[in-house]
Structure 1
Amino acid sequence: MPRLYGIQYLRAVAALAVVVYHATDRTGSRFTVGAAGVDIFFVISGFVMWTLAETRPTTPLRFYRDRTLRIAPLYWLVTMVMVAGALAGLFPRVRLTLDHVLASLLFIPHRSPSNGELWPLLVQGWTLNLEMFFYLIFGLVLLLPRSRRFTALAGALLILVAAGLVLVPSDPVLFTYTRPIMLEFLCGAALGRLWLTRRLPGRFFGGAAVLAASAGFAWLAVYPGMIHEFLFGLFAVLLVTGVLTLEKGGAVRRFPLLNYLGDSSYSIYLWHALAVSVVFKLAAMLAFSQFATAAAATLAGTLLGVLSYEILEKPLMALTKGRRPASSAARPASAEAAS
């Protein structure tokens, strides 16, 4: 399956949106709508997992192995950097406990001893808890005949969300895995089915969908009081649908920088908060303006992520796949590159 540049660009946009969200978090001008980058990632994840499973048949065990090797090593490394920094006193607000650290490393939702939130030690890792749970369900679905997989996946996720809405669980694990946000993975998988069966609408719909989603996000940026998880998911699904439709119609061209940032998006997502924290500390000492602080934090977070991609993520991927590192331009053009 050829590389989908539209998906790459959306990954870049999603990662940068999250960086800006955190970069403006303590400046008094929060870019709250940037948090929707997570919703875009979830829709993309459902799409990529479905298309990969359908075009590259695999077993559940191999699927679990591949996804764990892709996601876990870099996340564990960043988490241990957080542990080391907390022990060295670099993060005075972080309170370490063994159970929280272990839960963070094992992708188990756990209340943070620092603030009581359902966050792992690396705050943005809460999304990986959901991601890994989706992989768990998806791997089990692979045991079924192809004709029954989507029905089973939809049934499992819908039952979980319905149970959450009815029972409103307070347990961290049950609360996390019954959130409506889980349906964004299902929407992505549905888009994967439409893509593979060539049933996506035409280019006109694609352009209209992208414009509508962009207008929706702009509206939420102007009126952050209207932000709701449902709207984030709705606009994220609309945006990914529109981009895929334009891609199908041949309207998406290659832009090397956005393509590269899409490749780097996972590293950017994991590492940016560390750089943002350092910039905030320096900005306070140097009396930077709010705009300068946010701009510097955004740039530093992105650059640290790109650096991690080059010196850590690419070698780790090469190591787990048993091959030598390759440049971004020389990597195979495949759907897996968008995962």
Structure 2
Amino acid sequence: MEGILERNIQGLRAIAAYMVVVHHILDTFANNLGFHHPINNMRTGGAGVDIFFVISGYIMMLTTSDRPIGPKRFLYNRIIRIVPMYWLLTIVALILIAAGFKMFGQNPIDVKRILTSFGFLPYFGSSGKVIDPILFPGWTLNYEMMFYIVFALCLLRHDVKFRILSVCCILFCFWLAQVYIDDPLVDYLGADVIIGFAAGIMLWRVSRHNIVSPVIAAGFCLLGVLALVMLDYPIPFPIPHARLIVIAGALSIVFGAVCLERHGIKIKDGWLMHEGNASYSLYLIHPFVLQFVAKVAKVMHFGGGYLASFGLAAVMLITSGVAARLLYSKLEQPLSEILKLSRRKANFVRT
């Protein structure tokens, strides 16, 4: 799948992943190191998740629209992409926690939480609130897997228009149920973030025949960035379902990037492309890196001044990137190739 992805989409995957890393660096400063800076409350980086969801919807259509693919093969392709690395690093997190390391918050580790973490299912605490998986970035993967199951069911008919309409309708029904039904599970399944998948699917449909000029495309990117930055400015009145504004901003950025590529304006085969390839490894490994660097900073009695914090953030960011590239090249990519080869061999034996 990676070979046919558009270059600008790959670049956006890298940017979105680093946005999430920065968001978690600020969270680490506030909750692990006790650094009290106004920027600790910035939420813009968290919108990297919404960019990922829009991209995910777009990619699923991009990779299935021009060739017949059944639900079984589709799910297998997604499982070998997502599950092995996530399970492996979840096991590592469990081992570290069992060894006495306080990682990823103080929520209790019990059998139910372990099973839901490995099963990509929500874990509801005693208060009815959803508790993150053991490896906390996995909360987004729960939604990804839900989306893949819905998408796979809609592959039962090899009709692209049916696929677009059915997937978007199912996601919208989930969201609508959450608006009108007060239930923890319904609230979880219909969370605003799932609209990002539908937005990505519609983006694929629109971008096939409606491409704006490079200037307007750049304007869409800028407008999207401004929409995300607005998250960090106080609004004098409450906005219901404010996350939809974030999704609209993410959609605007991805649409602009796609249009620019259609006009030949795309990133080169360099650092950003390689970071896009390793974005999933970065997403999974960075919590370990941030925890490790934070513990070292504590032992060294690292100060919380602005200059020192900036330097520590740079160390965390660079170390996360290096660890991700190593994880991708030494484990994720070889493991993926082995699993793909196993699939091809199984198909060959059956035929």
Same-fold call, TM cutoff 0.5: yes
Q: How far apart in 1 are the matches of 2:270 and 2:96?
A: 35
| Residue 259 of structure 2 is aligned to residue 245 of structure 1 | yes
Contact 1:111 1:120 in 2 (8 A): no
Residue of structure 2 aligned with 1:141, choices 140, 145, 154: 154
Q: How far apart in 1 are the matches of 2:335 and 2:132?
A: 26
Contact 2:28 2:290 in 1 (8 A): no
Q: How far apart in 2 are the matches of 1:310 and 1:34?
A: 26
* Equivalent residue number for residue 328 of structure 1: none
* Equivalent residue number for residue 61 of structure 2: 50
Unaligned runs of 5+ in 2: 30-35, 303-307, 343-351
Report the aligned-residue RMSD: 2.3
Q: Output the TM-score relative to the length of structure 2.
A: 0.85
Task: Label 1:178 to 1:75 Cα distance change in 2 as closer, same or farther (>3 A).
Answer: same
Q: How does 1:1-339 map to 2 (within 5 A)?
A: 2-27=4-29, 28=36, 29-30=39-40, 31-91=42-102, 93=106, 95-111=108-124, 117-146=130-159, 147-171=161-185, 174-195=186-207, 197-221=208-232, 228-288=242-302, 289-322=308-341
Contact 2:122 2:130 in 1 (8 A): no
Deviation at 1:220, TM superposition (A): 3.0
Q: Output the TM-score relative to the length of structure 1.
A: 0.88
1:250-281 per-position Cα deviation (integer Å, ceiling 9, x unaligned): 11131400000000000000110011011111
Contact 2:68 2:158 in 1 (8 A): no
Task: Label 1:224 to 1:96 Cα distance change in 2 as closer, same or farther (>3 A).
Answer: farther
Q: How far apart in 2 are the matches of 1:148 and 1:213?
A: 29
Task: Label 1:116 to 1:194 Cα distance change in 2 as closer, same or farther (>3 A).
Answer: closer
Deviation at 1:290, TM superposition (A): 2.4
Q: How far apart in 2 are the matches of 1:253 and 1:267?
A: 21
Q: How far apart in 2 are the matches of 1:25 and 1:299?
A: 17
Tell me the SS of whatever aligns to 1:322.
helix
Deviation at 1:94, TM superposition (A): 5.2
Task: Label 1:280 to 1:207 Cα distance change in 2 as closer, same or farther (>3 A).
Answer: same
1:106-165 per-position Cα deviation (integer Å, ceiling 9, x unaligned): 10011368x964311111100000000000000011112413221111211111100011
For 2:222, the aligned partner's letter is L
For 1:200, the aligned partner's letter is I
Contact 1:100 1:112 in 2 (8 A): no
Q: How far apart in 1 are the matches of 2:43 and 2:317?
A: 14
1:257-314 per-position Cα deviation (integer Å, ceiling 9, x unaligned): 0000000000000110011011111111212232233222222222221211111101
Deviation at 1:223, TM superposition (A): 5.1
For 2:284, the aligned partner's letter is L
For 1:44, the aligned partner's letter is I
Q: How far apart in 2 are the matches of 1:170 and 1:275?
A: 33
Q: How far apart in 2 are the matches of 1:106 and 1:292?
A: 38
Q: How far apart in 2 are the matches of 1:78 and 1:85?
A: 10
Task: Label 1:118 to 1:293 Cα distance change in 2 as closer, same or farther (>3 A).
Answer: same
| Percent of paired sites with the same residue | 31
Q: Which has the higher contact order (CA 8 A, sep 6+)?
A: 1
Q: How far apart in 1 are the matches of 2:283 and 2:294?
A: 18
Contact 1:18 1:34 in 2 (8 A): yes
Contact 1:216 1:235 in 2 (8 A): yes
* Equivalent residue number for residue 333 of structure 1: none
Tell me the SS of whatever aligns to 2:170.
helix
Deviation at 1:51, TM superposition (A): 1.2
Contact 1:210 1:242 in 2 (8 A): yes
Q: How far apart in 2 are the matches of 1:11 and 1:111?
A: 30
Q: How far apart in 2 are the matches of 1:62 and 1:186?
A: 22
Tell me the SS of whatever aligns to 1:24.
helix
For 1:268, the aligned partner's letter is L
Bigger Rg, which one: 2
Contact 2:22 2:317 in 1 (8 A): yes
